[in-house]
Homo-oligomer: A and B are copies of this chain.
Amino acid sequence: MHDQTALLFELFVIFLAAKLLGEIFERLLLPAVLGEILAGALLGPFALGFVHPNDTLPSITEIGAIFVLFHAGLEVSPQGLIRVGRKALLVAVLGIIVPFVLGFGYMHWRGDVVTESIFVGAAMVATSVGITARVLGDLGVLASRTAKIILGAAVFDDILGMLLLALIEGLAHGGGVQWGRLAILAGEASVFALFMIFLGPRIVSRIRPGMARLSTRNAPLIIALAVCMGLSYASAKIGMAAIIGAFFAGMIFAEYSPEWDLLPRVHAITEFLGPFFFFSIGSQLNVRLFRGEVLVVAAVVSLLAVISKVVGCALPLIKEGWSSSLRVGVGMMPRGEVALIVALIGLNSKIVTQATYAVVVFMAAVTTLLAPPLLRYLFRGEAKVADVVRT
């Protein structure tokens, strides 16, 4: 009973602190998610030591991460993705290769071991579609061609990031680079992704008439949740991260999300569980490490993350002019959940040191902080006073 009271206290304090700092960040026009992470860093064991979330809350944190990615997947329609086509895919691919090569190259040149360097490179890859979409929505330019390319590319980017994460998970388990195992995992992950993109939505559309006949209230939500947990388990079971399954589970329901009103409902669950995940990311961050060499490495990695993403993503669009290609490049800049999850997996499996973890979190924060003001500046001509839809 007293453990129960302690758990309730932690839940309350974590939720309140995360949301309070989120609110403060929003008022400063900064992404709320960074406020939630900061709350974790401040209250966590490395600073005030007020909360030790990893003693009692690991399962809630884990489920929080799953819902953050499930929710992200729900906003990604495979149909829309296939339509946006090759331009976005090209942007995504170059936007992955350039950062990975630069990140890996720099860390390896510094003398880090191969696996740790791969982790840093991988963390520099994935664009956070949520933050970009939010800023473009606030500016009221979501309908522009540039915005469509950014969002399409960010989504491809997420999927490719998921594949890379699958490989990374393999690394974490294997304890080193085992090329045979990596190849098998790459195959598995690709089949998984292709299956989800092309067959998943069809299966959902098949079972759709049957769902209407179910007696359970909210049957579509229930089934989506069951599929989310099932695929999370399945991807953990075959050696990938659980969140990969959650992301694809969201994606195969994306097409029917408006019809079944899934997004606001899953969003409510994410609103509740997500903060525990972001808080936990912060709580594992040793803020005292940010000095001397670590700070230099963090600054260099952040700079490389900015440059590599802008250059990589702008390159395929260079013919369309300086302005368009720069907008796309900057729009692809913010790294978010995926970078942090990569870092966390590395930290938990002891491949990545506390210092490198701090570097990656720093990089994710810098890119996420820089993108919104830069985007506002680059779109200053087109931006309308938007009706900010608060869902």
Contacts and interface: CB of A to CB of B under 8 A. Distances in A.
Interface of A: 1, 4-5, 7-9, 11-12, 15-16, 19, 22-23, 26-27, 32, 56-57, 59-60, 62-63, 172-173, 214-218, 221-222, 225-226, 229-230, 232-233, 236-237, 242, 264-269, 271-272, 348-349, 390-391
Nearest to A223: B19
A316 B110 CA distance: 84
A233 B2 CA distance: 11
A367 to B, nearest CB: 22
A57 B60 CA distance: 10
A107 to B, nearest CB: 24
A62 B6 CA distance: 12
11 contacts: A12-B232, A15-B226, A16-B226, A16-B230, A19-B226, A22-B216, A32-B216, A217-B391, A222-B271, A264-B268, A265-B268
Given A32-B216, A216-B22, A5 B271 contact: no
Contact of A12 (B222, B233, B272): B233
A168 to B, nearest CB: 13
Nearest to A229: B12
B218 A271 contact: yes
Interface residue SS majority, chain A: helix
B226 A12 contact: yes
Contacts of A237: 5, 9
Nearest to A2: B236
A230 B23 contact: no
A316 to B, nearest CB: 33
Contact of A63 (B11, B26, B268, B390): B11
A123 to B, nearest CB: 18
Given A4-B242, A9-B233, A265-B265, 20 more contacts: A1-B173, A1-B349, A4-B62, A5-B242, A8-B62, A8-B232, A8-B242, A9-B237, A12-B230, A12-B232, A12-B233, A15-B225, A16-B230, A19-B222, A32-B217, A60-B63, A218-B271, A221-B271, A225-B272, A265-B268
A60 B62 contact: no
Contact of A26 (B22, B215, B233): B215
A22 B62 CA distance: 26
B8 A236 contact: yes
B62 A59 contact: no
Contacts of A272: 225, 269
A217 B35 CA distance: 14
A7 B217 CA distance: 26
Contacts of A12: 226, 229-230, 232-233
A218 B272 CA distance: 11
